[in-house]
Amino acid sequence: MNEEILARIPNAERALAEVTVKEVKELQRREALYRGERPPVDLRNKIVILVDDGAATGATMKAAIAALRERNVAKIVTAVPVGAPDTCDELRNVADESICAIEPQWFRAVGQFYEDFSQTTNEEVRELLARAQGEPHYG
């Protein structure tokens, strides 16, 4: 939690609780959509490589790292093609290993480094996960 930002929000605890309920429901929906009937992958004692399209604040990566630490993974590696220099430094401090391919001092947003920064659709995610499992996927 970013305490500095929460301090500026009126009724922050209530707002946070409401957002948490909404986001937990969305996470459950996506997990069911993406994983289907497949059981969760056992990550204990595995090396996990977290890849993202870039790191602006690093909040997503840090949340993923925290979740993985609870699952007793052997090692966490983060990898991004571009990141804010301060954020890349922070990732090096929380991951076991961290790769930021470029760290431009003039970094403003991840999207500035892409010609096409459109979102990956749910269907694309499902297709890629099915392919990774060796399952046929027909859309």
pLDDT at residue 139, rounded to an integer: 54
pLDDT at residue 96, rounded to an integer: 98
69-70-72 Cα angle (round to 5): 70
When pLDDT is cut at 50, 70 and 90, the band that residue 134 belongs to is confident
Tokens of 99: 């790769």
Strand, helix or coil at 105? coil
Rounded Cα distance between 12 and 25, Å, is 20
Distance of CA 62 to the CA centre of its chain: 8
Rounded Cα distance between 97 and 28, Å, is 29
Count the residues in the chain: 139
pLDDT in tens, 91-121: 999 999 999 999 999 999 999 999 999 999 9
Q: What is the pTM of this model?
A: 0.78
93-82-73 Cα angle (round to 5): 40
